[in-house]
Amino acid sequence: MFFQRTFLSLALAAGILSLASCNKSGDFSKTPSGIEYKIFKSTAAGKYEDKDVSKDGDATYKERIGKIMALHVEYRTAKDSVLFNSRKQQMGFPVRVPLDTVRAAQRGGLEEAISLLQPGDSAVFRFNVDTIFAKSFRQPVPPFMSKAGKTMTMYVKVDKVQDQAEAQADVQKMQVEQQAKMAAHAEEQLKKDDVALQAYAKKNNLTVQKDASGVYYAITTAGPGPKPKAGQIVSVLYKGSLLENGKVFDSSEKVGNKPFDFAIGQGQVIPGWDAGIAQFPKGSKGILLVPSSLAYGQRGAGADIPADAILRFDVELVDIKNAPAQPAAGAQMDEAEIRRQIEAMQRQQQGK
């Protein structure tokens, strides 16, 4: 489908309404399926007032099935950490959600919450994390969400509902504008990041070099081996932290000091890793200082890496291997290869 379902499948990776005659929980109302909510509708005077929805949901939703909803959304953990903010992480552009029939198995999830909203509505939804990940994300609750508490909160402001053709035209226009904004932002941010990186290196007495992409690196222990070439598989021990405050967001220690393997120069990791690790001879230890535009940019990554975050990685290039020959057409991968690829994908999602 042309329209991405990112809104309904955020990992991580990455919830308010008002039902008359439903159970109350503080300032929240609750749907029969357990969603806590408050919904506010806009008035002709430009103000907001509480909106009532029957216990059976919004009877007018059937008229919107098959259309596309444009809305601004923010997700927060139970500890109020922001997981995603569309206004900030999408350059002010809304998220677009295809509206479909809400099945019984989706009650209590994002799909049901969205079905209660109309253009101009603002809402806050509070979900049980176990329920929302099972019903809408169809995956186990990530550990960082479990540690944060038992709920996830979603703040929503609905912009409009469009048919497929209208939404597609809007998306195409938005993409052009967004790309221009992102390019301008990245260029300006890279200048700021470069100043910050140089100041950091000076303050910490680091002798660094800068590659053509803008990554700074310092080899603290030179290894005897060659540098990796594009396409080769490298094995790296690492610790990733935020340059601003030193907070560690990921490390090899979390997986028993097992090296992370990836094919260098193939876009399997952030650009700063592809460029930076390529400067290290086999057996070397050192530091990568990665500007935000070569890491996770304005979008950030989950709750631990905010937008425009400069990253520091303490790394050791343990090994370099030639990529294995591709299996012949129709050949099946063995169990070890399947596990390796699954682990690689999972590790990429956790912060590389």
**Side-chain-facing half-sphere of 304: CA atoms under 13 Å:** 21
Q: How far apart are CA 86 and CA 66, in angstroms?
A: 23
CA 323 to chain centre: 29
* From 250, 274, 304, 308, active-site residue: 250
The residue annotated as part of the active site, out of 37, 249, 260, 280, is: 249
Q: Catalytic residue at 313?
A: yes
> 3-state class of 206 per DSSP?
coil
Q: How many CA atoms lie within 13 A of 90 on its CB side?
A: 19
Backbone dihedral region for residue 153 (phi beyond 0: left; psi -120 to 50: alpha; all else: beta): beta
Catalytic residue among 296, 304, 305, 308: 296
d(CA 287, CA 237): 12
Whether 155 is a known active-site residue: answer no
Nearest-CA neighbor of 215 among 195, 241, 197, 239?
197
Catalytic residue check, 249: yes
| Active-site residue flag, 216 | no
DSSP-derived secondary structure letter, 87: H
Sign of CA dihedral 54, 156, 170, 102: negative
Task: Enumerate residues 6+ apart whose C-beta is below 8 A from 165.
Answer: none
**Which listed residue (37, 305, 313, 320) is catalytic?**
313
The one catalytic residue in 137, 238, 260, 280 is: 238
Quickly tell me which residue has 């935000």 as its tokens: 292
Catalytic residue among 270, 277, 310, 320: 270
- Point out the residues that are catalytic: 238, 249-250, 270, 296, 313
